[in-house]
Structure 1
C-alpha cells in the first residue's frame, strides 16, 4: 500500500522520534547561528538558521521540519535577541516554506535525490518568500539579500540536503 502525504504527516505528528530529532535540530539551529556570528557578517552570509530545518524536514519529514522551523528562530530570539523582532516574520516565513518544500521533496525523492532536487527546494523557498520579504521590509534589495550575500549559505544548504540523502541510502 502506498503511503500518502496525509498518512505520513499523521504518523509523523504522533511519533516520539519526530520530536526527539526535531529537538536535536533545534539545538543545531541554536548553536549554528552563534558560531556563524563569530565571523563578521556570518549570519547573512551563511544563513545558518535554515540549515537544520532543511535537514530535519528532508530526512525526518514535514512535521520535524515545521517544529524546527518555528521553535528555532523563537528560541534564538528569546535566548540571544537574534533574529531581531523585526526579522522574525521573515525568518518564520522562509523557515516554514523550507520545511514544507524539503519535507515533501524528501518523501518524494527518498533515497534517490540528485543535486538538482535539493537546488529546486532551495530555489523554491527563496523565490516564494522573496515577495513576502519585499512587502515586509519595503525593499527588494533586502528580499534578494539571501542570494546576493548568502549564496555561500545556499550552497551549504544544497550540499547538506544531498549529504542527508546519501546517509539515508546507507
Structure 2
C-alpha cells in the first residue's frame, strides 16, 4: 500500500538545531548559485537562491525558512556580488513570500505533493513579480523569472519535492 507520508518539522529559535539546520541550507544556497553561475545565465535561468529556502521552510518550518531566506542572498551578495545589491530587495521579498507560502502549505496539509509545490512556487513568483514591478517600475524586470526562469521553477517543484520527501 502506497503512502504519501512525509516528515515535517517546526523548529524553534531557542533550539540550537534550528541554527545548524538553517546553516546547512544557507551553505546550500551559497554553493548551488555558484555552480549555476558557471553557465551563462545560469542564475536567472535556474533561480538557485530559492531552492534551499523552499526546502527549509517546507520541511523545517517558517523559522528555519526565514533564517535561510534572509541570510542566503545577503551572504551571497557580500561574498560574490551576486545577487547585485540593487536586486536584493526584490529577491528578499520573493524569498519571504516563498517562506510564507511553503511553511503555510506544509503546516496546513502536513504532506507534500507536486501540485502543492506548484502552488507555492506560482504564489511566490506571481506575488513577488508584482512587488518587483512596484519596486522597479519595470514590468520586463518583474517578469524575467517567467521569461527565462521556468527551468528553475521546475527544479524547485520536482527537486524540492524529492528533497522534502526523502530528506531525513
Alpha-carbon distance, 1:167 to partner: 1.7
Specify the alignment match of 1:153 in structure 2.
152
Rounded to whole Å, the distance in 1 between the matches of 2:160 and 2:82 is 25
Contact 1:55 1:160 in 2 (8 A): no
Name the TM-score, length of structure 2 as normaliser.
Answer: 0.89
What does the per-residue CA deviation read over 1:76-113, in whole Å, with 9 as the maximum and x for residues that have no partner? 01111111111000110001110111111122222x32
Is 2:119 aligned against 1:125? Answer: no
Contact 1:73 1:88 in 2 (8 A): yes
Question: Structure 1: any 5+ residue segments left out of the alignment?
Answer: 1-7
Rounded to whole Å, the distance in 2 between the matches of 1:39 and 1:63 is 32
Is 2:109 aligned against 1:109? Answer: yes
Rounded to whole Å, the distance in 2 between the matches of 1:109 and 1:20 is 26
RMSD: 1.6
Alpha-carbon distance, 1:138 to partner: 1.4
Alpha-carbon distance, 1:165 to partner: 3.6
Alignment partner of 1:12: what SS?
Answer: coil
Rounded to whole Å, the distance in 2 between the matches of 1:31 and 1:66 is 18
Instruction: State the aligned residue count.
Output: 160
Rounded to whole Å, the distance in 1 between the matches of 2:46 and 2:57 is 19
Specify the alignment match of 1:5 in structure 2.
none
Alignment partner of 2:40: what SS?
Answer: coil
Q: Which runs of 4+ in 1 moved over 4 A?
A: none
Specify the alignment match of 2:39 in structure 1.
39
Question: Structure 2: any 5+ residue segments left out of the alignment?
Answer: 1-8
Contact 2:69 2:92 in 1 (8 A): yes
Specify the alignment match of 1:57 in structure 2.
57
